[in-house]
Chain A
Amino acid sequence: MSDIAIKVQNLSKRYRIGLKEEMPDTLVGAMTAWLKSPIANFRQLRKLSHFSDNGHDPDDIIWALKDVSFKVKQGEVVGIIGRNGAGKSTLLKILSRIPEPTSGRAIINGRVSSLLEVGTGFHPELTGRENVYLNGTVLGMSKIEIDRKFDEIVDFSGVEKFIDTPVKRYSSGMQVRLAFAVAAHLEPEILLVDEVLAVGDAGFQRKCLGKMGEVAKEGRTVLFVSHNMTAVQTLCSRAIRIDEGHLMENGEVNQVVATYLNSNETKLLEQHWNDPQTAPGNENAKMVYAGVLTEPGYDINHLTIETPINLVFRFLNFRSANLLYLNLLLYNQENICVFNTVSKKQSYPKGIVEGICQIPAHFLNDNVYTVWFLIHYLGADGISIKNILTFEIHDANREGLGWYGKWAGVVRPNLEWSLRATSSYSNLHHYE
């Protein structure tokens, strides 16, 4: 029993959302509604904390968590994944003892702290030094503990010079650094990390994740909520998937991540048009097939930045006399056109024509892409189909880099670098 760090049994949490209001439609109705409004307001406010237990759930109640049970051993690093609003953050908040669960219970062995409350209790009028003490005690440290770690905290934050300046004069980056330095020097047995709430720049996220890896290596227990599957797969050994408040899966991390990705993706990897009557096109050309394919040895259900991709199009060509060429535009989720590419001009006999556009590995960044496909005829009407295909490229394992933030850039080519030593140190004496 003592090797269990967290034991969650049938944990449920109920919230009341958007109470429905009745709108009066007559003047008399409006008057009486106005007169009755204090009573109605009282009922509404009271409803925030009181629930009628008459069996059936009214529509304005949602279960943020419903009968969630799991165990976490000491020293285990467990990822919690799921869509937005699935209940991940609610779970962490309950484990940090902020809201009380509606039913069920959780048993926690050890001191818990979380990297989701960075900077709580910071007062703008107080100096950096004063805020370190205040924030440290808010997070559960004792004064003696802070005294002992004070220099280390200040050192880590890099704001030594301003430690006796009120934090309202700090830049927001400095505030975050100082706040994080305090949180990072807690020594919890159990660490809860909610990446969703850890807003901040890439550098800050990197620090967060670096600290997490460090804590995990020291054999502490970590619960990690994230949308970044690469980070989860690298840092965690096990994962729990939550959907609409229910625990869907609990197991080996790669397995859980794979089912999550499949359940969650918006993709249109293939389209067949068997009936030329309904197929998109005109009297010159009719679509037959469009598809995203890959080379043997790659998983079509999990395309990564390392996967070569073939976009394949087949269509019926009715115009053998005209030159034709294919044209493809690729858009990412931000609706930026990543590229626009055309094939050679050529004429083909009547019948099915196949065109393949090869996108090499190490070219596209991780994103969701949609394809706009066009056939152009010289001297005749062509066809144009937007959103003919949609696919998602995932990030690949970035082992050894120690950073899992979003990789910047529309594309992510693996460019050639050349590095060499051009002179030895002994030739540098004129710099001294």
Chain B
Amino acid sequence: MKTLNQTIIEPKKGWQLIDWQELREYKDLFYFLVWRDIKVLYKQTILGFVWAIIRPFFSMIVFSVVFGRLAKVPSDGVPYPIFAYTALIPWTYFSTAMSSSTQSLISNANMLSKVYFPRLIIPLTPVLAKLIDFAIAFLLLGVMMVWYSIVPTWNVLFLPYLIILMILTASGIGMWLSALAIQYRDVRFALQFLVQLLMYAAPVVWPVSLVPAQYRLLYGLYPMAGIIEGFRSALLGTNPMPWDLILMGALSATIIALSGAFYFRRLERIFADVA
């Protein structure tokens, strides 16, 4: 007789760690959900994946006119459009991944109330799915770098590390906000501002060199600061790699992601009741 896997259903007490074993068992589901998100996003559109470029492209034009031309915001010695666009690539990823992750539990509520699977998959799915848009947005950057004849530096080798940090940050915030949003729908309304506030707080339209030196490390706690500055350093060679910002950012991103996972796991038991 073959051995059957035993499941014990009982109220869980206290804080749970991430159950990696179980996540691995459901990796195919994770894969298909990510794939569904990618596949469905641009269905029945004319431009399809071009939208992944259009959004940061038009933001770049608006920012170049408003902040570059009119407000004369400094751009670390590179043309303002490419200065802004290099930041808009990670920023667009971060903001869209964070927004869809926050909404993810609400929009998948019918799945939550019908089948069991590790709930953590739901907010993590958009975080991975949005990487496609992120990759596509890079194509335009390539064209712009040729246009402005800018050669990337060797620091480009650190880009994967920055991308991982970016994914970790989006996941952490996604876990926090999605778990909050399913019980308190206010989060959905607050999200719009939050994204806007976070954008102006990040060095998207302005360089980190404007931050006074004594606050630099503190500012680094906002992970997107190190990530965006890192992108500029690697691709445009504006400044040396801002390791201080990146380390501080990695520290806070890890804290956000770990606490987010704990919080999510603590709340997941009530999802089916409040969804």
Which residues of A are at the interface with B, using a C-beta cutoff of 8 A? 2, 15, 42, 45-46, 48-49, 93-112, 116-117, 120-121, 123, 125-126, 130, 133-134, 137-143, 189
> Smallest CB–CB gap between B261 and chain A, Å?
18
Chain A residue at minimum C-beta to C-beta distance from B39: A126
**Chain B: minimal CB distance from A15 (Å):** 7
Q: With the chains together, A349 CA to B181 CA distance in Å?
A: 81
CA distance A137 to B26 in the complex (A): 8
Contacts of A137 in B (CB 8 A): 26, 28-29, 31-32
Partner of B5, one of A2, A93, A111: A111
Q: Given A48-B183, A120-B115, are A104 and B10 neighbors across the interface (CB < 8 Å)?
A: yes
- Tell whether, in the assembled complex, residue B7 and residue A97 are in contact, meaning their CB atoms are under 8 Å apart: yes
**C-alpha gap A123/B32 in the complex (Å):** 12
The number of chain B residues with a CB under 8 A from chain A is: 37
Collect the chain B residues with CB atoms within 8 Å of residue A130's CB: 36, 39
State the Cβ distance, B15 to closest chain A Cβ, in Å: 15
Contacts of A139 in B (CB 8 A): 115
Complex Cα gap A2–B1 (Å): 10
Query: Is B116 positioned at the interface, with any CB of A under 8 Å from its CB?
Result: yes
Provide the residues of chain A in CB contact with B66, threshold 8 Å: none
Nearest Cβ on chain A to B193's Cβ, whole angstroms: 17
Complex interface: chain A residues within 8 A of B5 (CB): 109-111
Q: Contact at A98–B114, with CB atoms within 8 Å? A: yes
Known interface pairs A103-B11, A120-B114, A139-B115; A125-B43 also in contact (CB < 8 Å): yes
Residue picked from B8, B12, B116, most chain A C-beta under 10 Å: B116
Smallest Cβ-Cβ distance to A95: which chain B residue: B9
Is B70 located at the chain interface by the 8 A CB criterion? no
B36 & A96 in contact (Cβ 8 Å cutoff): no
- Is B190 part of the contact surface with A, judged by Cβ < 8 Å? no
Asked if B153 CB lies within 8 Å of chain A CBs, one says: no
B273 within 8 A of A: yes
Which B residues touch A99, using CB under 8 A? Answer: 272-273
B residues 106-157 in Cβ contact with A at 8 Å? 110-117
- The verdict on B17 contacting chain A, using a C-beta distance below 8 Å, is no
Known: A2-B1, A105-B10. A98 touches B29 (CB 8 A): no
Closest to B30 in A: A137
- Residues of chain B lying within 8 A (CB to CB) of residue A96: 115-116
Residues of B within 8 A of A49 (CB): 183, 267, 270, 273-274
Output the least CB separation between A132 and chain B (Å): 10
Cα–Cα, bound, A139→B29 (Å): 9
Q: Are B117 and A126 in contact (CB under 8 A)?
A: no
Cβ–Cβ contact A94 & B273, under 8 A: no
**Are B115 and A45 in contact, with the CB atoms below 8 A?**
no
* Pairwise interchain contact A125-B11, C-beta atoms closer than 8 A: no
